[in-house]
Amino acid sequence: MTPTSDTNYLLICVLLTLWALPWKCVAVWKAAKNGSKWWFVILLVANTVGILEILYIFIFSKCGKKETHQVVHHHEHHTK
């Protein structure tokens, strides 16, 4: 590798990290808040450069909330 390619590689790694880190933090936080243990572990360990994290934040985390809300609402309705 030449010094230029080393610099380019380092720059790409830094930019990818700066892009992926905020998404990972938000996704892991949402998974923990939602009690999604498997999602928490997967999001914490897998490095998908933000792709899986974005999908979890905008799609999968909302699916779990609807199901949880329906179960809680159903349980509250039957206990009254």
Q: At residue 36, what are phi and psi to the nearest 5 degrees?
A: -90, 85
Three-state DSSP class for 47? coil
Domain parsing of the chain, residue ranges: 3-79
Q: Please, which pLDDT band fits residue 65 given cuts at 50, 70 and 90? A: low
Euclidean distance between CA atoms 16 and 69, whole angstroms = 36
Query: What is the pLDDT at residue 22?
Result: 96
Euclidean distance between CA atoms 23 and 61, whole angstroms = 13
Q: Please, which pLDDT band fits residue 1 given cuts at 50, 70 and 90? A: low
pTM for this predicted structure: 0.71
